[in-house]
Amino acid sequence: MENTQQPIISIKNLRKNYGEKQILKGINLDVYPGQVIGYIGPNGAGKSTTVKILTGLISDFEGDVFMYDKNIKDDIISIKSQIGYVPENAEIYDVLTPLEYLDFIGKLYGMEEDAIAARATKLLTAFGIGANADQRMDTFSKGMRQKVLLISGIIHNPKIIILDEPLSGLDANAVIMVKELISLMAKEGKTIFYCSHMMDVVEKVSDRILLINNGEIVANGTFEELKAGGNQSLEKIFAKLTGKEEGNRDAADVLSALN
Amino acid sequence: MFNRYIINFVLLFKPIFKKFGVNPEQLRIILTIKMKMDDRRPNIYNQQRQKKKKEVNHASWLVMFFLGITGLFFAFLLASLKQPFLAHTVYFSAFMVMLAVTLISDFTNVLIDVRDNYIILPRPVSDTTFTVSRILHIGIHTAKMAFAISISGIIYSFIGEGIISGLVFIIEVLIATTLSIFFVNITYLIVLKITSPQRFKDFISYFQIFLSILIFAAYYTLPRLIESSILKGIDLTQARILTIVPSYWLAALHELVVNIKNTPFTTYIYAFLAIISPLVSLYLVVKVLAPGFNQKLSSISASGDDGIIISSEGKGASKGFMNSIAKKIAPHPLENAGFKITWLLSSRYRDFKVKVYPSFAYVPVYFVYFGFINKKGVSLSENWNNLLEGRMYILLMYLTSFVLTTVLQNISMTEKYKASWIFFTTPHNEPGRILAGMFKAIVIKYYLPCFIAIGAFSIFFWGPAVINDLILVFMVGTLYGLLVALFQVKGFPFSQPPNNQKGGKMFITFLIMAVPAALGFLHYWAAKWEIAIWIAAAIMTVITWVSFNYYRKESWENMELAD
């Protein structure tokens, strides 16, 4: 289906090398407002590099990335203020309390102290860790840290949200809540860029799925479109397109090694 | 509170920051949070508080307090040495070493903190604001430490030596601080040149160990050195090598300003070097070192290692050495497993090394303290002669048991204790075998080398007649270690969280310590009868062997499982 809207993110011939190694080999992509993009691929395929470029963490790349029609090389600061990012490796200043941490993050986005405090308290309560708002995070479980990380990615109410394995460490209830939250935010017109290895979740939350392998996009479409080839699950599609269809044979090899 | 004043002071230069494209408000926010985190960061000065699992709130002020105390010692040096040239050379040598070592050991982790890349950089913060905040953060931290060390010296200079001397002293402090930063930079660069990013973190651990030893040694020796005539008798004009030391140049600068009429020409040259050296070092840092340094730092960040691959052990020759010893010393499969896991992990867990390795310095420091400088009014050579004639070597030998017991008391603890689930899920029914392997590894890896070194030293100075003493002490030390292992170590190697000591162990610790103390006293008393020592050594060997076999039979009931 052809989208008549203006793309909110437009990637043109994106390339990135690390020394001799080509990580991204010319990616082209348009993302529209209100879409949830599931971005999947095997380890080392180039997912994280793409995300780092979109969030301004990597600036030496070839090609162009436009957000709101602005080239991110021209004005990364104003673009960053419209993005929310939840990184895969849950780095956090854990000697701070959630409120202190969120106050810091909110201020970097230029929010007022009172507004940050009010929103942070509501969000912490909604995520079920309101009672821990004034405890230092070095005693927190992985799930609790992940919740704070998620809140820090949305506290400034961004229009584009980039989530890298956002469900890592969350309990079942929190997973349901975050999945629901993603759908609701998309309905509000926010654009979500969702990276994950959890195929079942990607399958459920994404409007459109992009599969990257060896630095190239090898599949781009809705789940329905992707499974037109006869595959019933995203896992199967993933295995087929990344050349690991023989997954069963690999497992058999492992088993035979034990005998 | 004070942090806010410091930041307000820094932001007085807001117009300049703006001119360079820095966002002053973001700068304030980043500096505020960074300094708050500094105050909560564990460091070597607040270990007691960490042990009690209390929150750390004023860490950087605590560091300043301890540095202030150290600075007070340095100021005593300044006041007690009557030759100002010598006093300033000694003072600024101590100042620069202390500042550089503290910077490396305490602040490197801040410098290579990769979290900023994920927390600050994705936000709308410009590179300039981020870089300036980083430089200012390091600058403020360094200034706080330099101030803490030098404040006593500054006060003394103003009150004791006059206003001019005080003002020159402040300039000396500024130059010394700049040079210290330069030396830290040089150290980083050299280390990064000769080692990998992962090993760089390991190097920092060793530096922390070195700082612990330095503080420990200074605590015992510095007050006595100040009193003694050792320093007072030094004639700097005879020590030509000192002229290449920057603190000598600083002393020359002071001498030139305070005593200009009687200053020889060479002093002018050294004073000139003092003024020019920070400018040259700044140029070298900015133009030559910084570019490559930043690249190297990012490679450390990119390595993202939390310190697993930090030792050469497990590779090539080292692994072969460990394997062949393990095969001979611990042939039983479970003992072999306990031996190897202890050997390997004790080389690789950084928290264990930082805690345990400083104790290795206790032996020489205590020996020097008790043997030499503890006796007032006696010269060093007289002390040494008395030492050779007496039986103090027995004390030296017994001091080695510190190494064994400190390793044992820490062997079951690590921050990564959760990996020990494997001990509890594997189908073995002789946990004592694993502990026996652990004990053997500790004796072979830590106690024996230390004992051989001390043994060689003793035989060299006191003659082969001390061999029977050595055997007896080794057996008593091993028995002491076994008692510690039996009563105080209830976990498998690296299976408990740090500081998991349960209450009520004080009494047991005291009782256990009484055993080697009593045996050592008897040994000292009976040392004149050679044959008695040989017999005692034989008896102690049997007792130690029996005790070890008892320890080898430890059952599951005595094993403590971490939460």
Contact A87 B122 (CB under 8 A): yes
**Which of A121-130, B36-45, B144-153 comes out lowest in average pLDDT?**
B36-45
Statement: residue B101 has pLDDT above 90 = no
Backbone dihedral angles phi then psi of residue A87, each to the nearest 5 degrees: -75, 160
Contact B122 A77 (CB under 8 A): no
Structure tokens given for A54: 């979109």
CA angle A170, A173, A179 (to 5 degrees): 80
Statement: residue B82 has pLDDT above 90 = no
Residues of chain A in contact with residue B26, where contact means CB-CB under 8 angstroms, are 107-108
List helix spans (H) across chain A: 47-54, 76-80, 98-108, 113-126, 142-154, 172-187, 199-205, 223-226, 234-241, 247-258
Question: Which residues touch B53 (CB under 8 Å, ≥6 apart)?
Answer: B499
Q: How confident is the model at residue A15 (pLDDT cuts 50, 70, 90)?
A: very high
Tell me the helices (H) and strands (E) count for chain A, helix number first. 10, 10
Contact A57 B121 (CB under 8 A): yes
Q: How far B56 CA sits from the closest chain A CA (Å)?
A: 9
Average pLDDT for B15-36: 91
Q: Which residue among A57, A91, A108 places its CB closest to the CB of B115? A: A91
Statement: residue A238 has pLDDT above 80 = no
Q: Which of A95, A102, A134 to mutate to test the interface with B (most CBs of B within 10 A)?
A: A95
pLDDT score at B305: 40
Q: What CA–CA distance (Å, rounded) separates A152 from A101?
A: 8
Q: Which residue among A57, A95, A107 places its CB closest to the CB of B122? A: A57
Statement: residue B507 has pLDDT above 80 = no
Q: Say whether residue A106 is in contact with chain B using an 8 A CB cutoff.
A: no
Which of A184, A8, A144 lies closest to A79 in space, CA to CA?
Answer: A8
Q: How confident is the model at residue A225 (pLDDT cuts 50, 70, 90)?
A: confident
Structure tokens given for A255: 């088993």
pLDDT score at B384: 72
**Which of B80-84, B197-201, B518-522 comes out lowest in average pLDDT?**
B197-201
Over pLDDT 70: what percentage of chain B?
A: 80
Cβ atoms of B6 and B140 within 8 Å: the answer is yes
Q: Say whether residue A230 is in contact with chain B using an 8 A CB cutoff.
A: no
Q: Which residue among A77, A83, A109 places its CB closest to the CB of B126? A: A77
Which residue of B lies nearest to A90 if distances are taken between CA atoms?
B118
Q: Which residue has the higher pLDDT, A50 or B60?
A: A50
Q: What CA–CA distance (Å, rounded) separates B170 from B405?
A: 46
Q: How far A222 CA sits from the closest chain B CA (Å)?
A: 29
Residue located via tokens 């993302």: A31
Residues of chain B in contact with residue A91, where contact means CB-CB under 8 angstroms, are 114-115, 117-119
Q: Is A235 helix (H, G, I), strand (E, B) or coil?
A: helix
Q: How confident is the model at residue A14 (pLDDT cuts 50, 70, 90)?
A: very high
pLDDT score at A148: 93
Count the Cβ atoms, other than its own, within 10 Å of residue A208.
Answer: 19
Question: Which residues touch B503 (CB under 8 Å, ≥6 apart)?
Answer: none
Q: How confident is the model at residue B355 (pLDDT cuts 50, 70, 90)?
A: confident
Residues of chain A in contact with residue B55, where contact means CB-CB under 8 angstroms, are 136
pLDDT score at B261: 74
Instruction: Give all strands of the β-sheet with A21-31 in edge-to-edge order.
Output: A21-31, A9-18, A62-67, A70-71
pLDDT score at B289: 67
Q: Which residue among B114, B122, B304 places its CB closest to the CB of A85? A: B122
Residue located via tokens 């690390």: A18
Statement: residue B92 has pLDDT above 50 = yes
Count the Cβ atoms, other than its own, within 10 Å of residue B324.
Answer: 10
Q: How far A223 CA sits from the closest chain B CA (Å)?
A: 30
Q: What CA–CA distance (Å, rounded) separates B279 from B285?
A: 10
Contact B126 A78 (CB under 8 A): no
Count the Cβ atoms, other than its own, within 10 Å of residue B402.
Answer: 18
Count residue pairs from A and B with Cβ separation < 8 A: 63
The answer for A 126-145 residues in CB contact with B (under 8 A) is 136
Statement: residue B391 has pLDDT above 90 = no
Contact B126 A107 (CB under 8 A): no
Q: What CA–CA distance (Å, rounded) separates A111 from A156?
A: 7
Average pLDDT for A26-46: 90
Residues of chain A in contact with residue B123, where contact means CB-CB under 8 angstroms, are 80-81, 105, 108-109
Cβ burial, residue B366 (10 Å; 0-12/13-18/19+)? middle
Q: Say whether residue A109 is in contact with chain B using an 8 A CB cutoff.
A: yes
Q: How far B303 CA sits from the closest chain A CA (Å)?
A: 14
Q: What CA–CA distance (Å, rounded) separates A64 from A68?
A: 13
Q: Which residue among A55, A78, A95 places its CB closest to the CB of B40? A: A95
CA angle B273, B276, B282 (to 5 degrees): 130
Q: What CA–CA distance (Å, rounded) separates B374 from B380?
A: 10
Average pLDDT for B198-222: 72
Statement: residue B48 has pLDDT above 60 = no
List helix spans (H) across B304-444: 316-329, 333-348, 350-356, 362-368, 380-389, 392-399, 401-411, 421-425, 431-442
Report in angstroms the alpha-carbon separations of B372 from B362, B380, B384, B469, B521.
Answer: 15, 6, 7, 22, 21
Q: Which residue has the higher pLDDT, B365 or B295?
A: B365
The ipTM estimated for the assembled molecules is 0.72
The pLDDT tens digits for B221-236 are 666 665 655 555 566 6
Q: Which residue among B55, B115, B124 places its CB closest to the CB of A77? A: B124
Q: How far A101 CA sits from the closest chain B CA (Å)?
A: 9
Contact A93 B115 (CB under 8 A): yes
Which of B135, B4, B150, B132 lies closest to B68 in space, CA to CA?
Answer: B150
pLDDT score at B513: 86
Cβ atoms of A235 and A63 within 8 Å: the answer is no
Q: Which of B27, B118, B128 to mutate to test the interface with A (most CBs of A within 10 A)?
A: B118
Question: Average pLDDT over chain B, rounded to whole?
Answer: 80
Cβ burial, residue B75 (10 Å; 0-12/13-18/19+)? buried
Residues of chain A in contact with residue B29, where contact means CB-CB under 8 angstroms, are 104, 107-108
Contacts 24+ apart (CB under 8 A), B139-143: B140/B6, B140/B10, B140/B31, B140/B35, B141/B38, B141/B60, B141/B107, B141/B110, B142/B99, B142/B103, B142/B107, B142/B177, B142/B180, B142/B181, B143/B177
Statement: residue B270 has pLDDT above 70 = yes
Q: Which of B35, B50, B123, B130 to mutate to test the interface with A (most CBs of A within 10 A)?
A: B123
Angle between the N-to-C axes of helices B333-348 and B431-442, in degrees from 0 to 180, rounded to the nearest 10: 50
Statement: residue B309 has pLDDT above 50 = no
pLDDT score at B311: 41
Question: Which residues touch A31 (CB under 8 Å, ≥6 apart)?
Answer: A7, A8, A9, A10, A37, A191, A193
Statement: residue B194 has pLDDT above 80 = no
Instruction: State which H helix or E strand residue B101 sits in.
Output: helix B84-111
Contact B122 A91 (CB under 8 A): no
Statement: residue B40 has pLDDT above 60 = yes
Question: Which residues touch A8 (CB under 8 Å, ≥6 apart)?
Answer: A31, A32, A33, A67, A68, A159, A160, A191
Contact A95 B41 (CB under 8 A): yes
pLDDT score at B231: 58
Tell if the pTM clears 0.80, that is, is over it. Answer: no
Average pLDDT for A226-247: 71
CA angle B102, B73, B52 (to 5 degrees): 55
The pLDDT tens digits for B310-341 are 344 445 556 678 888 998 999 998 899 899 88
Average pLDDT for B173-193: 83
pLDDT score at B266: 83
Q: Which residue among A57, A96, A108 places its CB closest to the CB of B26? A: A108
Structure tokens given for B563: 């939460």
Residues of chain B in contact with residue A81, where contact means CB-CB under 8 angstroms, are 123-124
Q: Say whether residue A112 is in contact with chain B using an 8 A CB cutoff.
A: no
Q: How confident is the model at residue B21 (pLDDT cuts 50, 70, 90)?
A: confident
Average pLDDT for B517-544: 90
pLDDT score at B333: 86
Q: What CA–CA distance (Å, rounded) separates B435 from B489?
A: 9
Tell me the helices (H) and strands (E) count for chain B, helix number first. 27, 0
pLDDT score at B396: 82
Statement: residue A151 has pLDDT above 90 = yes
Q: How far is CA A90 from the centre of its chain?
A: 13
Instruction: State which H helix or E strand residue A38 sits in.
Output: strand A36-40
Q: Which residue has the higher pLDDT, B490 or B138?
A: B138
